[in-house]
Structure 1
Amino acid sequence: MGQRRNDETEQWRTRSRLPLILDALLGSEEDPPVRRLVEAFGGEPASVKERLVGQPAYQSRRLQFASGAEVILHDDAVVATVLHAAPTEFAAHGFDLPEWIPGLNSGATLEDLKKAIDAPRYRTGMAFDMDGAYAVPNFKNNRGWNDPGNLLSITLTVEAPGRSCRPEDDDCPVCSDLLVRNTDSDGDQNGAAEGAGAGATGSATGGAAGMDVERTITALSSAVSADLLKESLHWVPLADLQPLHASGLMERAESQLTCTQCRRIICLTLFRDSAPTFVYAVLDEARRRPLEKIPPVEQWGDAPRLAKDREAMHYVDHHPGAWFLVEQQGDLFLQSRYWRNSMVDSDVLLRLDSDERDAYRSGGKDFLSELSERIDKSRPHTEESPYFQRDLSRGTDGAALAKSFAAAIVNHTWIAEQRRRS
């Protein structure tokens, strides 16, 4: 795991068995440090799970031991080890934490972990930095880390927390089975719905198989409808992905969807001149992915899509950081940003009344900027503000209006500008 620090005072180095785990990270199953770790966990795994993840695919292999430990490999390299403090489907009892980390037990709190592991905290989250590897605790419902009994597991990993997806999420029950692979010549689906399924044991198949884009989009759409995924409004709508790709107007058309359970972001990308990809990413990675401006629907939409567009909101103008104006069948809608306090901002969505429309026609952008300032000063999140009751986002149709508004301004947001520069 690279150069060790000269400071040997940290307890995990001398009092715990964690170095046995850290020495195995990035090794293959045949490497001596990995073999020693497997023996220490009990020898033969109680079960082995394999699946292909993403497209291009990598193989995720999970060795699960009756002792309550797991070893996770990506393409035959150990990327994480999980010590389960609570019973699992493959281990009737939790892992023997005191044997490996003296002073720790299944009832440990975050403060107990800090004392027992005695390693610097990573710059974000609850992880501990251990010479370029990380010890990451997982608590029940991601909360209650100060209350005994909520510790579920401790993951030792090479993946920096928050900078890449957690290896444990390869088997997320919500989103790991949504990629559908092409059917091979024998009629078997090569890794369809990620092949083996969340609970399968044995080999994943079809490592070279491509993705069935249409069936994958159908699976993703169903998950969105079931509120299992949340579709990003800053990227190509999933329903428009294939028509845009078929038009040849974009070099890369991408939809992004966030899993409501593991929080990974699925990036489904259709390229003009290369094979499609299906990538899991964390927020920072996803926001950095490039995407050019989405062409007007008149250039690629069919008759039903054009009819839908005629009824939709359309971008008119904006002032960066202050307001957006859209139009829908003669009505003008203003989304105006305001500050709740020095740290938190929000926005209101208003339909301009007749006086405001007349003022806009005569005053243009200057009037809208003045109106936006008045809205901000009125504290529109309070009932005393004249704009509180006018805020359409508070109504029963608020979510649908917000979605329509976001679709109208998708090419003009700050995020859109950044992604086009990438």
Structure 2
Amino acid sequence: MLDALSLPEADPATRRLVDALGGEPVAVNERPVGEPAIRSRRLLFAPGVEMILHDDSVVAVLLHLAPALLGPPGLDLSEWIAGVGNDATLKDLKQAMGVPLHFAGIGVPYFAVDGGYARFNFRGNRGWNDAGNLVGVTITVDRPGLACRPEDDDCPSCSDLLVRRSDSDGGVDVDGTTRSLAAALRAGLLTQDAHWVRLIDLRPLHASGLMARVESQLACTTCKRIICFTLFRDSAPTFGYYVMNDAMRRPLGAIPPVEQWGDATRIAQERDAMHYVDHEPGAWFLVEQLGVLYLDARYVITSMADDSALIRLDGSELEAYRGGGHAYLSDLATRIHDNGPHRENSPFSQRDLYRGPDANRYREAVTGAIANHTWLARQRRPPSA
């Protein structure tokens, strides 16, 4: 099985694997993924095994232990990995594999094997300590967590959101794709990253010609892939799927003021929105909305976790800010840090708007306000920006 990874379907090593699985597949599914498109070809074999190829290169082999709803029965894992059965726990697998255990994130265990990686799939990504929760094994070319899972090519929530033009040139139908993504957002199938261009602003910004490239990023709530929908000033639009680590490093220049590209309605919306005022890198942001000032202050919870609190400046704090400016806000942020708002006895706990009923709305508003001023925003700007 490992010998076939990265090889074309007609290669002798791949053909030997196909023969070992009983010959011809019982079902074949093909689809273009993204634009520029890669050709995803998925072969399902009777024993409960699937092979996925990208542009005629084997990228994954899936071993299904549980029977699929409409597919063939699951396979017997002991025929593939000596010493373990379908009821294996992660501890059993670690003993059988005889190589170090790794995790992609906090919920995806995998082992590096000769020429690839073996990712073990448990119900709920957490049930690995109990027998009977192992549902499958995926052998991949790419290290788990550093590339999209090949099986997500067919994600039911996001795999069909790209609309292609019907003319001979093909490519992205920008209007159709924008409508498709907007509908998925409304349905809760996607979430939008406010650090990037909002989907509703993508076309107007692109039409203005003020930016060489404009990009919206949207995360699928099912498979967790990040959709990067990008319009360029001088080239064709693109639509791709990425893991978070790659998506966050994609370039984007500073977004121009809305007055330079928005219509009257959009400009009015921005006038009432939250706006950036000042910040201290790594410590705090000061934002304003309709004359009200808010301090977003970072604090440490443990050596492994931190968070931010959003405090509306009260009368005494406003007066102190007018007199002390930036230095006063740094002092206030230090006091917030030292009196962690996550603790109920903290004087800032009840004032932290991120802990209240409108937390999500406030976080989204602040994220949008500071989008051009974060460390990540500076890193993703093209060299000429």
Q: Residues 19-418 of structure 1: matches in 2 within 5 Å?
A: 21-89=1-69, 91-122=71-102, 124=104, 125-184=108-167, 209-418=170-379
Tell me how far apart the structure 2 counterparts of residues 241 and 298 of structure 1 sit (CA, whole Å). Answer: 15
Within 2, Cα distance between the matches of 1:171 and 1:351? Answer: 45
- Contact map agreement 2:5 2:115 (CA 8 A) in 1: no
Q: Is the 8 A contact 2:2 2:114 kept in 1?
A: no
Q: What's the CA shift for 1:316?
A: 0.6
Which amino acid letter does the alignment assign opposite residue 28 of structure 2?
A: V
Paired letter, 1:144? G
Alpha-carbon shift at residue 395 of structure 1 (Å)? 2.4
C-alpha distance in 1 between matches for 2:300 and 2:11: 57
Q: Which whole-Å CA distance do the structure 2 matches of 1:279 and 1:92 have between them?
A: 32
Tell me the SS of whatever aligns to 2:161. Answer: coil
| 1:89 Cα deviation from its structure 2 partner | 4.0
Task: Supply the distance in 2 between the matched residues of 1:110 and 1:364 (Cα, whole angstroms).
Answer: 55
CA distance in 1, matches of 2:46, 2:317: 69
In structure 1, the gaps of 5 or more residues are: 1-20, 186-207
* Change in 2 beyond 3 A, CA 1:80/1:214: same
**Aligned-partner Cα distance in 1 for 2:115–2:47:** 26
Q: Which amino acid aligns with 1:404?
A: A
Runs of 4+ deviating beyond 6 Å: none
Counterpart-to-counterpart distance in 1, 2:306 and 2:77: 44
| Distance in 2 (alpha carbons) for counterparts of 1:215 and 1:91 | 33
Distance 1:416 1:386 in 2: 32
Tell me, in whole angstroms, the C-alpha distance in 1 between the residues paired with 2:301 and 2:382.
31
**Percent identity of the aligned residues?**
59
Matched residues in 2 for 1:133 and 1:341: separation?
35
Mapped to 2, the partners of 1:89 and 1:397 lie a distance apart of: 41
Instruction: Tell me, yes or no, if the aligned pair for 1:64 and 1:90 is still in contact at 8 Å.
Output: no
TM-score normalized with structure 1 length: 0.86
Return the offset for 1:295: 0.6
State the 1:421 CA deviation: 5.6
| Contact kept in structure 2, 1:47 and 1:90, CA below 8 Å | no
1:134-161 Cα deviation digits (max 9, x unpaired): 1111111111112111111111111111
Please tell me the root mean square deviation across aligned C-alpha atoms, in Å: 1.6
What SS class does the counterpart of residue 83 from structure 1 fall into? strand
Contact 1:120–1:130 (CA under 8 A) maintained in structure 2: no
Q: CA deviation at 1:345?
A: 1.4
Across the two proteins, how many residue pairs are aligned to each other?
380
Asked if the contact 2:285/2:295 (under 8 Å) is kept, the reply is yes
Offset of residue 100 of structure 1: 2.4
Question: In the TM superposition, what whole-angstrom CA distance separates every residue of 1:37-94 from its partner, at most 9, and x where no partner exists?
Answer: 1111111211111111001001100000111000101111111111111101454321
Distance 2:361 2:101 in 1: 42
Deviation at 1:119, TM superposition (A): 3.4
**Contact in 2 for aligned 1:94/1:106 (Cα 8 Å):** no
Mapped to 1, the partners of 2:177 and 2:100 lie a distance apart of 42
**1:100-131 per-position Cα deviation (integer Å, ceiling 9, x unaligned):** 22222211111222233333434755211112
One-letter amino acid of the counterpart of residue 162, structure 1: G
1:378 Cα shift? 2.1
Rounded Cα–Cα distance in structure 2 between residues aligned with 1:22 and 1:342 = 40
Q: Distance in 2 between matches of 1:122 and 1:329?
A: 49
| Structure 1 residues 227-286: Cα deviation after superposition (integer angstroms, max 9, x where no partner) | 221211211111111111111111111111111121111111111111111111111111
User: How far does the alpha carbon of each residue in 1:390-411 deviate from its partner, in whole angstroms, 9 at most, with x for none?
Assistant: 1122222221121111111100
Letter aligned with residue 332 of structure 1: L
